Amino acid sequence: MTMRNFGELLHAKWDEGKFLCVGLDVEVEKMPESVPGGSPRQRIVAFNRAIIDATRDLVCAFKPNSAFYEAHGDEGIAALRETLAYLHEVAPEVPIILDAKRGDIGSTNDGYVQAAFEYLRADAITVHPYMGRESLEPFLARKDKGIFVLCRTSNQGAGEFQDLKVDSMPLYQMVAKRVVSDWNAGGNCGVVVGATYPDEMKQVRGIIGDMPMLVPGIGAQNGDLPLSVAAGKDAKGRGLIMAVSRAVMYASSGTDFAEAARSKAQELHGAITQALVE
């Protein structure tokens, strides 16, 4: 099996001028009726394959959220694994970020690491910082993988804890500082900052330098794309993984869903490219 390095895969995509990440967040009830298959597993995989085929040349990463698959039990987990196997087959140059938001004591995280990186063969994962560096050591030790730490999230209630002051600094900024100073020894860390908070994003970028930033929220959550790109890009005009799920996957409910997904992805790719040069 070929050894994959998340950082190398991501930087190669940035070199191609690609910063869009398509989230493979499958909601069965939203899938077009034309998607073939009898079981949930078959339909989910067929839908994902069509979206992947339509967008794989436009993206810097794909990001399946594990919750949408876990909701369907054995069928969903099988669909997730089959989807990632398909990505390895048809788009081996595109990194895969498993959006699972893991975080527990170290021995439990050993299990999460095994599931994400060995069983599913993801290249990166999202994690919670709340239990500290020691608990995340099983992730951080995987220098070949990307570890994206939740920093300033895109949900409306994010500020309940993330804006609390710690040593006169908002907690989300303290998290960003700690990731830079203590957690990134392997050079494999990134942070998650929602596009719905461009001012906070600019503050985080000032702390993390050229570290990768995973940015959800520019699609269905209505984050401002040009503002987010301006706030989040690094000094080299890159550093961003702009994640969009529903706006691409459900661009059409008709038989043209794959073509509509590609059209939306092309539109977003163009908008990100334009925002980077302005």
Going 269 to 249 to 116 to 149, the CA torsion angle's sign is positive
Cβ 181 vs Cβ 211: under 8 Å: no
| Residue 68 DSSP symbol | H
Tokens 């994010």 correspond to 158
Q: Which of 18, 30, 63, 101 is catalytic?
A: 101
Q: C-alpha distances in angstroms, 52 versus 8, 23, 72, 89?
A: 21, 10, 21, 11
Is 202 considered catalytic here? no
DSSP-derived 3-state class of residue 260: helix
Compute the distance between CA of residue 231 and CA of residue 210 in angstroms, rounded to an integer: 13
Residue 236 C-alpha from the chain's centroid: 21
User: Which residues are annotated as catalytic?
Assistant: 101
